[in-house]
Chains A and B, each alone.
Chain A
């Protein structure tokens, strides 16, 4: 059974710092990996989708990488802003099914 782990569980940084969020998964037979943002009391907003054949995806200040063989993905946030404060979730879709398996999330706070 696929298991997804996110480290750290919580992170507090001053505004302007570059930061890295980590995601690891136990079964490398994945179809794709998605990074989401969740604001308190809200649903999930998709940030980046990386197909299994891709190594990275970029959107603005966000860059996500995927190393399928080692079961790892990272989300890099450049020049963090207070508006980036949220919970970040990674989720993998296995080759065997259509559902997503989520990590527990990293709760990020960016202080002005």
Chain B
């Protein structure tokens, strides 16, 4: 079956622009996660959805970052007024259920470069 997909794969934005990054999780997966990975580092948690409910947004670095999953499937991560420090790879992951020790499956990521 299809894995987690993300679009676009690459995004270049001028400082101050707004961007929207899309994640299509594996069909039927209840949980969806967003992570940010700076160059040469491990991913860091941003936010977590269970179905359409955003249960944890403690990792969002500022109020310029906003995520939604209105129908409990596709999710969008929006960054307003992008800044250079937002340059990173944004990874989306999904897992089968919100509870239990299920694996997280990751998409290929969106590489955002802010110039």
Contact = CB atoms under 8 A, between A and B. Distances in A.
A46 B42 contact: no
A52 B101 CA distance: 9
Contacts of B93: 44, 100
B109 interface: yes
Interface stretch (A11-19, A60-68, A69-77, A102-110): A102-110
Given A34-B103, A43-B91, A46-B103, A98 B43 contact: no
Q: Say what secondary structure dominates the interface of chain A.
A: strand
Nearest to A104: B42
Nearest to A89: B42
Interface of B: 4, 31, 33, 35, 40-45, 48, 50, 55-56, 59, 91, 93, 98, 101, 103-109, 111
29 contacts: A34-B103, A34-B104, A36-B106, A43-B4, A43-B108, A43-B109, A44-B43, A44-B106, A46-B104, A49-B101, A91-B42, A91-B43, A93-B101, A97-B56, A98-B33, A98-B48, A98-B55, A98-B98, A99-B33, A99-B59, A100-B35, A100-B45, A100-B93, A101-B45, A102-B35, A102-B43, A103-B42, A104-B42, A105-B42
A32 interface: yes
Nearest to A31: B101
Interface of A: 4, 6, 31-32, 34, 36, 41-46, 49, 51-52, 89, 91, 93, 97-105
